[in-house]
Amino acid sequence: MNYEAVIGLEVHLHLKTKTKAFCGCSTEFGNEPNSQVCPVCLGFPGSLPVLNKVALDYAIRTGLALNCKIQEFTKFDRKNYFYPDLPKNYQISQYDLPFSRDGFLDINIEGKPKRIGITRAHLEEDAGKLIHKENTSLVDFNRTGIPLLEIVSEPDINSPQEAYEYLTALKSILEYLEVSDCDMEKGSLRCDANISIREKGQKQFGTKAELKNMNSFKGVKDALQFEIERQIGVLESGEKVIQETRLWDTKELKTVSMRTKEEAKDYRYFPEPDLPPFIISVEKIAEIKKSIPELPKEKMLRFVKEFGLSEYDAGILVASRRDSEYAEECLKAYPSKDKKAIANWLIGPLLSEANNRNSNICGLKVLPKGLLELVGFVDRQEISHLSAKAVLTEMIDSAKGASAIIKEKNLIQISDTGSLNAAVEEAIKENAKSVADYKQGKLNALMFLVGQVMKKSQGKANPKVVQEMLKRRLADA
């Protein structure tokens, strides 16, 4: 049987506001437990919430960037449930009138564009954190009330790889918008994945499972892959998939059942009486729209047009906002019209140095000017590509400039034919067989001779110049 996966993702995002969604407590991460609390976020009777305007702005900005329609008349609702990390016994959320709905996000899958629908993006507040130790459970309310944006996708995603691309593209946009630090390790970006399978060609959706507890995009991908195989196994054995919430076990690399539909809660949503409904004016929406920077996709297309790069290369260069600014500075200042060489340096050696150091390009302390200086040496054939890569590593480690390192290590290649003549003649004299082979059309023999000259020059000769010299000399003879 041929099956198809149907996936919808729910992303929860901490908005990067200084204070919480409905009170003035700090949102700073990592402080003494319960040091950032007040009667409002602890749900004391008689305390009243006040909406954080910055959180509202960030929520609208994100909705607009995700091509959503912004709801002009909107309100908050109470989502009621009991849990020890929820002191109010309800969460302020949005039910039927979310700020944003009906948007989309374009991803690239195997070189082809695909549009994933965004059902809604609504504002709510985070709960606290339970800390379980041996025989006790502790609760930290510092996180309680931090503004949380929930972004729900349509079930338009059909493979774990598509889910991965969707999350990567979404994170890139969120970083460009500067609405969140998107740090999965700190829990400021979390993802639940809903997945079902159906026979290919079948219209109706299968029964879904909701996966939780993945702490990286790779984890989401792995969990989805596992779950597809599990669900196929269930169907093939003649049974039915049941609707349930499953946890991704990061040690065993499998999903395990957490709760089934029978235990699903009725949240008894009702309008939040302490926050009256309100209108987001058209002017306000227009003003926020203006504050949205050029987004990754537009920037990618501009890089293709302005610098003649492929969409693939440009896509890598724009993935992070700060690195894309760095790349643009390099591309603009690079003296040649053909920008491929500098783009290759950015995507190749520089990016892998950054990845190796768990950093981004901007974090490497090599300024665009420094990189261009180094690449200049290579372009003028003064140093080899190989030495240039070693110089780059040292530039990053020592914060020294390219020319200082090149001078110190004496890396400048010998390109002067006069100085190379003797070595060329020696190599020819000592390797009569290779000379004969070359004359019979064996190119390998020429490369061997180049190697011999390189050896004689202690690796200092410019191989391109040596090759030209040998060709000329052997054509004459």
Report, in Å, the least distance between residue 231 CB and ligand ADP. Answer: 10
Of residues 9 and 56, the one with the C-beta less far from ligand ADP: 9
**Both structure tokens of 124:** 């709510």
Residue where the block lists tokens 């006040």? 50
Report, in Å, the least distance between residue 326 CB and ligand ADP. Answer: 35
Of 194-213, which residues contact ligand ADP (CB under 6 A)? 194-196, 205, 208
- Of the residues 11, 86, 152, 465, which one makes contact with ligand ADP according to CB under 6 A: 152
Pairing outcome for strands 209-214 and 244-249: parallel
DSSP string spanning 372-439? HHHHHHHHTTSS-HHHHHHHHHHHHHH---HHHHHHHTT---B--HHHHHHHHHHHHHH-HHHHHHHH
- Of the residues 49, 98, 128, 155, which one makes contact with ligand ADP according to CB under 6 A: 155
Query: With CB cut-offs between 5 and 8 Å by kind, which of ligand ADP, Zn ion, none does residue 155 bind?
Result: ligand ADP
Of residues 195 and 445, the one with the C-beta less far from ligand ADP: 195
Q: Is 85 helix (H, G, I), strand (E, B) or coil?
A: coil
Query: With CB cut-offs between 5 and 8 Å by kind, which of ligand ADP, Zn ion, none does residue 378 bind?
Result: none
What is the Cα–Cα distance from 203 to 313, expressed in whole angstroms? Answer: 37
Of residues 55 and 116, the one with the C-beta less far from ligand ADP: 116
Of 12-71, which residues contact Zn ion (CB under 5 A)? 23, 25, 38, 40-41
Of residues 36 and 196, the one with the C-beta less far from ligand ADP: 196
Q: Is 373 exposed, middle or buried (0-12, 13-18, 19+ CB in 10 A)?
A: middle
Q: Which stretch binds ligand ADP (CB under 6 A): 56-64, 104-112, 192-200, 266-274?
A: 192-200
Q: Which stretch binds ligand ADP (CB under 6 A): 6-14, 299-307, 367-375, 420-428?
A: 6-14
Report, in Å, the least distance between residue 196 CB and ligand ADP. Answer: 3
Q: Does 154 bind ligand ADP (CB under 6 A)?
A: yes
- Of the residues 3, 4, 10, 275, which one makes contact with ligand ADP according to CB under 6 A: 10
Are the C-beta atoms of 271 and 243 separated by less than 8 Å? no
**Both structure tokens of 396:** 């990053």
Q: At what angle do helices 160-177 and 217-236 cross, to 10 degrees?
A: 150
**Both structure tokens of 327:** 């790349």
Report, in Å, the least distance between residue 244 CB and Zn ion. Answer: 35
Query: With CB cut-offs between 5 and 8 Å by kind, which of Zn ion, ligand ADP, none does residue 181 bind?
Result: none
Of residues 10 and 373, the one with the C-beta less far from ligand ADP: 10
How many chain residues bind ligand ADP (CB under 6 A)? 14
Q: 113: which strand partners? A: 108
Q: Does 79 bind ligand ADP (CB under 6 A)?
A: no
Report, in Å, the least distance between residue 241 CB and ligand ADP. Answer: 10
Q: Which stretch binds ligand ADP (CB under 6 A): 34-42, 193-201, 295-303, 304-312?
A: 193-201
Are the C-beta atoms of 2 and 11 separated by less than 8 Å? no
Q: Does 146 bind Zn ion (CB under 5 A)?
A: no
Pairing outcome for strands 270-271 and 77-80: antiparallel
Buried b (16+ CB within 10 A) or exposed e, 161-176: ebbbbbbebbbbbbbb
What is the Cα–Cα distance from 222 to 253, expressed in whole angstroms? Answer: 8
Are the C-beta atoms of 342 and 334 separated by less than 8 Å? yes
**Both structure tokens of 462:** 């410019």
Query: With CB cut-offs between 5 and 8 Å by kind, which of Zn ion, ligand ADP, none does residue 38 bind?
Result: Zn ion
What is the Cα–Cα distance from 179 to 381, expressed in whole angstroms? Answer: 45
Query: With CB cut-offs between 5 and 8 Å by kind, which of ligand ADP, Zn ion, none does residue 25 bind?
Result: Zn ion
Q: Which helix (H) or strand (E) holds 161?
A: helix 160-177
Q: Is 338 helix (H, G, I), strand (E, B) or coil?
A: coil
Binding site for Zn ion (CB under 5 A): 23, 25, 38, 40-41
Where do contacts with ligand ADP occur on this chain (CB under 6 A)? 6-10, 152-155, 194-196, 205, 208
